[in-house]
Chains A and B, each alone.
Chain A
């Protein structure tokens, strides 16, 4: 009977293994008091510039580290280090368009024992794939920039439905684009009624304090509910 053909029923999501790993990572981070923020956006939305602004305002009260995820290169990790002085490490996804919990865990291992309050994971620039893979983050946020258009929440529903905070960046160029801020907020709420929306300009600094305030509260809540 050695070569008998057997059918094994599995009936499980392909993502089951990743989701389990993500939950374990969240638990471990909670115990350590480390808040992991997963930041997503399309290429060019202003992730690195926004991060630089936010980190410089918060680095005296929180111990921060950044993990940059890209398919290749380390330009972002170097830029963050130069402009903020906080520790930044570069992760390469090996050709993949997103980061998963396993890769995140490996990255975090590089920060082990450093008592970091806030780790910011700058995910691969993409509005589709990163939304499918739970990284084990405490909270997910995304940046949508004005030139991309106010209809993006309709086109990328999954991304907007998993984000706790949606930052609308580059509002300094609003007069030059047909971007309807009100309509955009409506679309976001349609996909995700619980999302917080903060319009900012990372260039002029407008609204950045509100993002810091949100983040400060989230880190406090995470650490407080151990």
Chain B
């Protein structure tokens, strides 16, 4: 739902790094999105394509999205499991005392520039 804000932030951050590194053009950017980051990939891509055109240094920048797996930890049996598959309740011991280890990331991994 807040893909627009995320796109603005991502493009600003990338543009800044590119300029700091005296790049002429950003060819591609790799983003890491956690499985439960609440960012919808299709919306994100649409907004990305709409916004990059307005940034000279980035107008041909291709976006690559890497999905990071969501993993939950169970405090009772101390095992980890797939969040998307099992949700909040531990599939091993049925405990509710669990918390998310990874999966919420919205990171910029790297960019390719000339």
Say whether A associates with B. Answer: yes
Expressed in whole angstroms, the Cα–Cα distance for A144 and B110 within the complex equals: 40
- A182, CB-defined interface residue at 8 Å: no
Taking a contact as CB atoms under 8 Å apart, the answer to whether A5 and B5 are in contact is no
Taking a contact as CB atoms under 8 Å apart, the answer to whether B13 and A16 are in contact is yes
**Most chain B C-beta atoms within 10 Å of own C-beta, residue among A15, A100, A158:** A15
Within 8 A of B (CB), among A6-26: 6-18
Given contacts A95-B4, A98-B5, A133-B5, contact A10 B109 (CB under 8 A): yes
A-B contact count (CB 8 A): 85
Given contacts A12-B108, A13-B106, contact A6 B113 (CB under 8 A): yes
Given contacts A4-B114, A12-B13, A17-B12, contact A129 B5 (CB under 8 A): yes
Query: Which one of B9, B31, B110 contacts A8 once the chains associate, using CB atoms below 8 Å?
Result: B110
Number of B residues near A (Cβ < 8 Å) is: 29
Residues of B at under 8 Å CB distance from A? 1-2, 4-6, 8-10, 12-14, 17-18, 21, 23, 27, 31, 38, 96, 105-114
Taking a contact as CB atoms under 8 Å apart, the answer to whether A6 and B9 are in contact is no
Residues of A at under 8 Å CB distance from B? 3-18, 95-98, 100, 126, 128-129, 132-133, 158, 190
Taking a contact as CB atoms under 8 Å apart, the answer to whether B12 and A6 are in contact is no
Expressed in whole angstroms, the Cα–Cα distance for A17 and B106 within the complex equals: 13
- Specify which chain B residues have a CB less than 8 angstroms from the CB of A6 in the assembled complex: 21, 23, 112-114
Given contacts A5-B112, A12-B108, contact A129 B13 (CB under 8 A): no
Expressed in whole angstroms, the Cα–Cα distance for A1 and B21 within the complex equals: 15
Expressed in whole angstroms, the Cα–Cα distance for A17 and B4 within the complex equals: 16
Given contacts A15-B9, A16-B13, A17-B12, contact A10 B108 (CB under 8 A): yes
Expressed in whole angstroms, the Cα–Cα distance for A171 and B108 within the complex equals: 44
**Most chain B C-beta atoms within 10 Å of own C-beta, residue among A4, A10, A100:** A10
- Specify which chain A residues have a CB less than 8 angstroms from the CB of B96 in the assembled complex: 190
Taking a contact as CB atoms under 8 Å apart, the answer to whether B112 and A7 are in contact is yes
